[in-house]
Amino acid sequence: MKENNQLITHYTVNGAEINSLILRLQKEDSRNLKTFKNFQWIFLVFIIIYGFIFIVNPFLDRGLLDRITGICYILGFIIFGWVFRKYYREYKTIDYSLPVAEMLQKAANRYKLRNRKTLIIIIPVLLIDAGITISIFQRYTAFTPWERIGLVQIMYIPTLIISFLIGVWIWYKKQKPLRDEALKLLDELRN
């Protein structure tokens, strides 16, 4: 991430507000950069572990369903890792030396809640859901097939909803104020 604290001081329109916002953006961007970097490593570890357990492991006689489960997990982890890598690269190249209006617009776009780029997350979520469902499906044979699928969804869907709500709460508390202030200052600069 390009940090240019000396460039902050030359902005003239609402200089104190812009300086304050840029410092808070740098802090939040730096926190996000570290988070994305850490998650890349976490998913790499998951990929290696699950790759060994479900695909490479010559010591266990894994059936076809176990291997499909492993492939679902691994593909899900690969996509999650790729998404976090993509965001890491984006945050690493943030440039605060851009013209103020452009920098504020990019910050506002970066901290938008509904972002089309994040829709790809649905794919690994569904792959991991499929992996868990297949795993449970073959173990709990006392239940009907629909009961086995329902059992997974009863646990998985609330977990996803809670995770989503936590993410929205974090956005609302930490990132929405930055976005709102960037849009307000951008509007003032244009007028």
User: Which pLDDT score is estimated for 37?
Assistant: 95
- 188 is written with which tokens? 């003032």
pLDDT of residue 10: 39
The span from the CA of 174 to the CA of 20, in Å, is: 15
Reported pTM:
0.81
Q: How many folded domains does the chain comprise?
A: 1
Q: How far apart are the two ends of the chain, measured CA to CA in Å?
A: 30
Is residue 138 a contact partner of residue 65, using CB atoms and an 8 Å limit? yes
Tell me the chain's radius of gyration from C-alpha atoms. 22
pLDDT at 14 (0 to 100): 56
Domain span at 59: 5-190
Residue whose pair of structure tokens reads 């239940």 in the numeric block: 143
106-132 CB burial, b ≥16 within 10 A, e <16: bbbebbeeeeeeeeeeeebbebbbbbb
Name the H helices within the chain.
5-8, 15-51, 64-92, 100-110, 122-139, 145-170, 176-190
Which of 80, 116, 122, 110 lies closest to 171 in space, CA to CA? Answer: 110
78 close to 128: Cβ distance less than 8 angstroms: no
pLDDT in tens, the chain (191 residues): 544 443 443 344 556 678 889 999 999 999 999 999 999 999 999 999 888 887 666 556 667 788 888 899 999 999 999 999 999 999 999 999 899 889 999 999 999 987 777 788 999 999 999 999 988 877 777 888 888 889 889 999 999 999 999 999 999 999 999 999 999 998 888 87
Q: Dihedral, CA atoms, 1, 186, 168, 8, nearest 10 degrees?
A: 30
CA gap 159, 167 in Å, rounded:
12
Distance, in Å, from the CA atom of 108 to the CA atom of 182, rounded to the nearest integer, reads 6
Residue matched to tokens 């202030």: 181
Q: Tokens at residue 15, please?
A: 């200089």
